[in-house]
């Protein structure tokens, strides 16, 4: 089961965080960049080296990485090659993968996407993010893989400010995100693993702690992927309610907060070539902040 492997990896590393691999060229130290041509292709090669150094520095402490395809796609074919190679390298190093692709399309098209991501047509990953706007037709082709090896995280209440435009609309006495939460819970009922969690997870932003509390109740057995920690403003206190009483049930993502840690003023003490250590320290700090908050709330899973 996808979710069991994810949880085992989390427990092994005592770490609920996910590192978002959303690289931008200005995060890549100059000493790496100068080894490559100043072309699109060269930048993609530099980004791949950057990603590999990040992975080398976090693989023993982090369970999961989440590459966001947009940042690779903006470089075209070369970037997409880097996306694939980054995922392969992360897998070789024992990391669980969430491919952040947010796909959502009619059934026959969703089948093509499932083939791309769950059968290795494009790249073979453990899990993907999906958009629920088209309803169950668009999710089902992925669920066919979720009885065993694969998992999905379906957008519910997203971390951005304007998530309210649609997600907070009131349907009778419920918010739309509550209804989507009920769907997600229902879609996952059939595929639960040994820890009681299903392979059908949800995305709920760290920036909405109040909504999180409600959604945690609605989707007791869904793993929640929580973006918006760090750079987007969410703190350890904000995400405490995304965990169940067993101290499980959520993975917390930080992208820029980790992979651009070395570009922060306060981290100028690190030499350019020590950026990997700086990133590792940021990942440790995030892990410890979350675990400390869990401990205070009697929710440590180990």
DSSP letter at 245? T
138 in contact with its own copies (CB under 8 A): yes
CA distance 249 to 198: 10
> Going by C-beta distance under 8 Å and a sequence separation of 6 or more, which residues neighbour residue 266?
none
268 in contact with its own copies (CB under 8 A): no
* Active-site annotation holder among 102, 140, 164, 182: 102
Name the one range near its own copies by CB under 8 A: 1-9, 101-109, 193-201, 237-245: 101-109
Q: Work out how close the CB of 160 gets to its own copies at its nearest, in angstroms, rounded to a whole number.
A: 4
Q: Dihedrals φ, ψ of 203, to 5°?
A: -110, 120
SS3 111: helix
Rounded to 5 degrees, what angle do the CA atoms 223, 228, 234 make?
Answer: 105
40 is catalytic: no
Q: Give the chain's largest Cα–Cα span.
A: 59
DSSP structure string for 10-59: HHHHT--EEEEE---GGGS-HHHHTTS-SSHHHHHHHHHHHHHHHHHHHT
39 in contact with its own copies (CB under 8 A): no
Residues 167-226 that bind its own copies (CB under 8 A): 167, 169-172, 176, 179-180, 183
Closest CA to 117 of 75, 69, 77: 69
Name the one range near its own copies by CB under 8 A: 78-86, 212-220, 245-253, 289-297: 78-86
Choose, by CB under 8 A, the member of 68, 86, 198, 291 that binds its own copies. 68
Choose, by CB under 8 A, the member of 44, 97, 128, 155 that binds its own copies. 155
50 in contact with its own copies (CB under 8 A): no
Residues that bind its own copies (CB under 8 A): 22, 68, 70-71, 73-77, 79-81, 84, 102-107, 109-110, 112-113, 115-116, 121-123, 131-138, 155, 158-167, 169-172, 176, 179-180, 183, 227
Q: Would you please indicate which residues are annotated as catalytic (active-site) residues?
A: 102
């Amino acid at each position: 089961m996808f979710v069991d492997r994810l949880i085992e990896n989390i427990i092994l590393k005592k770490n609920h965080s996910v590192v978002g691999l959303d690289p931008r060229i200005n995060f890549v130290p100059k000493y790496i960049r100068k080894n490559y041509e100043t072309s699109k292709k060269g930048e993609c090669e530099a980004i791949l080296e950057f990603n590999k150094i990040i992975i080398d520095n976090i693989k023993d402490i982090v369970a999961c990485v989440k590459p966001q395809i947009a940042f690779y796609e903006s470089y075209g074919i070369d970037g997409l090659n880097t996306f694939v190679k980054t995922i392969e390298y992360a897998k070789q190093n024992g990391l669980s993968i969430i491919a952040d692709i947010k796909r959502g399309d009619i059934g026959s098209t969703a089948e093509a996407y499932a083939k791309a991501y769950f059968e290795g047509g494009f790249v073979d990953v453990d899990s993907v993010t999906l958009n629920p706007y088209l309803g169950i037709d668009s999710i089902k082709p992925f669920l066919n893989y979720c009885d065993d090896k694969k998992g999905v995280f379906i957008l519910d209440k997203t971390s951005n400010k304007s998530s309210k435009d649609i997600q907070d609309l009131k349907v009778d006495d419920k918010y739309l995100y509550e209804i989507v939460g009920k769907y997600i819970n229902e879609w996952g009922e059939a595929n639960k693993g040994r820890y009681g969690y299903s392979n059908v997870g949800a995305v709920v932003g760290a920036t909405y702690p109040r909504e999180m509390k409600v959604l945690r109740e609605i989707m007791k057995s869904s793993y929640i992927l929580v973006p918006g920690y760090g750079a987007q403003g969410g703190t350890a206190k904000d995400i405490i309610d995304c965990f169940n009483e067993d101290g499980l049930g959520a993975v917390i993502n930080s992208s820029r907060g980790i992979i651009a840690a070395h570009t922060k003023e306060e981290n100028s003490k690190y030499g350019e070539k020590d950026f990997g250590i700086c990133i590792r320290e940021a990942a440790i700090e995030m892990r410890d902040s979350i675990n400390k908050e869990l401990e205070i709330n009697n929710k440590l899973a180990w």
